[in-house]
A = this chain, B = another copy of it.
Amino acid sequence: MNVIKSISIIGAGNLAHHLGKAFAGRIKIYSVYSRTHAKTQVLAKKLDCFAAEKLEQIIPADLILVCVNDDSINHIISTLPKSQKIAYTSGAVELETLNRQVDVGVLYPLQTFSLDKSVDLSNVPFFIEAGNEELSQSLFNLAGMLSEKVVYANSADRKNLHVAAVFVNNFSNHMVHIADDFLKSKNLEWTYLLPLLSETVEKLEYSSPFDAQTGPGRRGDEKTLNEHSEMLSGIQKKLYQLITKSIQTTYKK
């Protein structure tokens, strides 16, 4: 098995920053390239490496890590030299849909990253896939430098995890946004609900979401459900009713 000792990074967004910083000091980072040179320079400075102005200037390495948006992955990978091993970091893009698949793999960290907030990668699951066993193992070991939870997963599993992640992260966050929006319209602050939100998540560390469910929907408290529904309007009301229906269906099974 080939041990990956050096990388170059394409992309300079949140994920490129977090992975770059995590790998710095563990392996060599040769260069960074992104479409926006100002962003490239910021990241290259952080990682103490070369800031490529053009894609052709990216320095060949044991691996090029492609951290760009889903729509650009195929094009970028097609452009890189055939001799170059590559991994991309997307949950949604299937390996088999790419024009080039030889020496291409996936290293997908299932986490949400913000530029200004550090994340402990050691407990973040990394999902690995590659067309051949050797690259697959190399990527497994590479991810193992950062995380204790590295798992082989094919493109279908990765897509399934990505859908689930949308519910867990994007949709939960939107539920909190609705609470915020609704309370603001009543001159109340949603920050009153932060301890409730923390406890909601803490419970799920030892209880299944099925068992942890509480509230008027699960209890079938029709009086409160109707009152709440009357207090809401527009799409918030529709959401209240549909999610309540889904909760009630869950516990009628």
- Residues of A near any B CB (own CB < 8 A): 70-71, 92, 110-112, 114, 117, 119, 123-125, 149, 151, 156-157, 159-183, 186, 188, 190, 192-210, 212-218, 221, 223-224, 227-228, 231-232, 235-236, 238-240, 242-243, 245-247, 249-250
Contact residues of A: prevailing secondary structure: helix
Chain B residues contacting A204 (CB-CB under 8 Å) are 173, 176, 194, 197
User: CB-nearest residue of chain B relative to A245?
Assistant: B235
Q: Please tell me if the beta carbons of A210 and B180 are within 8 angstroms of each other in the complex.
A: yes
CA gap between A195 and B113 in the complex, in Å: 12
CA gap between A109 and B164 in the complex, in Å: 32
Q: Please tell me if the beta carbons of A239 and B243 are within 8 angstroms of each other in the complex.
A: yes
Q: Please tell me if the beta carbons of A175 and B180 are within 8 angstroms of each other in the complex.
A: no
User: CB-nearest residue of chain B relative to A127?
Assistant: B192
A214/B169 contact (C-beta < 8 A), A111-B195, A201-B201, A209-B177 known:
yes
A164/B177 contact (C-beta < 8 A), A193-B110, A201-B197 known:
no
CA gap between A180 and B250 in the complex, in Å: 12
CA gap between A210 and B240 in the complex, in Å: 19
